[in-house]
Amino acid sequence: IFRGTLSKRGVRVITGLGKYFRQIDKNRDGFLSQAALKEALKLFHLEMPEGDFESLCLILDDRKRDKVDYGEFTHAIFGEMNEYRKAFVRKAYMKLDFNKTGSVPMVDVRKCYCAK
């Protein structure tokens, strides 16, 4: 959808949009209504022609539930991670999963990461 190199503004918009999606997802199921997605895009000045929006929703709402998976939306924007980035994420995860359980409790993340 938004291919090419992202500018600093583009990165801020995308990360802000993801944060906004999480805020309005009250039941935390990872889905938004099509109306909520449209409003979010408008709020972040990413409006598109109605036909393009309908096409986007057809892709992201393949079960016709009037729900859009915002994880899939984000994936559609960023695409697949390159191998360097995947390796970096794996390395970070291995450090976080110091008990080698295959999952990382939030308390362990907080010990290792400060978002400030």
pLDDT (mean) for 47-76: 82
Give the residue numbers spanning the domain of 95: 83-112
Same domain, residue pair 67 and 90: no
State the amino acid at position 39 in one-letter form. E
CATH number where 22 lies:
1.10.238.10
Q: What token pair was written down for 67?
A: 């729900």
- How would residue 1 be classed by pLDDT, with cut points 50, 70 and 90? very low
DSSP letter for each residue of 55-110 = HHHHHH-TT-SSEEEHHHHHHHHH-SPPHHHHHHHHHHHHHH-TT-SS---HHHHH
Cα→Cα distances 95→30, 36, 69, 98, 111, Å: 27, 37, 29, 6, 11
- Separation CA 50–CA 92 (nearest Å): 41
Same domain, residue pair 67 and 101: no
- Separation CA 23–CA 66 (nearest Å): 19
> Whole-prediction pTM value?
0.59
Same domain, residue pair 50 and 65: yes
Percent of the chain with pLDDT strictly greater than 90: 3
pLDDT of 2 reads: 47
**Mean pLDDT (the chain, rounded):** 81
Same domain, residue pair 28 and 41: yes
Same domain, residue pair 53 and 25: yes
Q: What is the pLDDT of residues 18-45, one digit of tens each?
A: 889 889 888 888 888 889 989 998 998 8
Same domain, residue pair 70 and 52: yes
Q: What token pair was written down for 116?
A: 């400030």
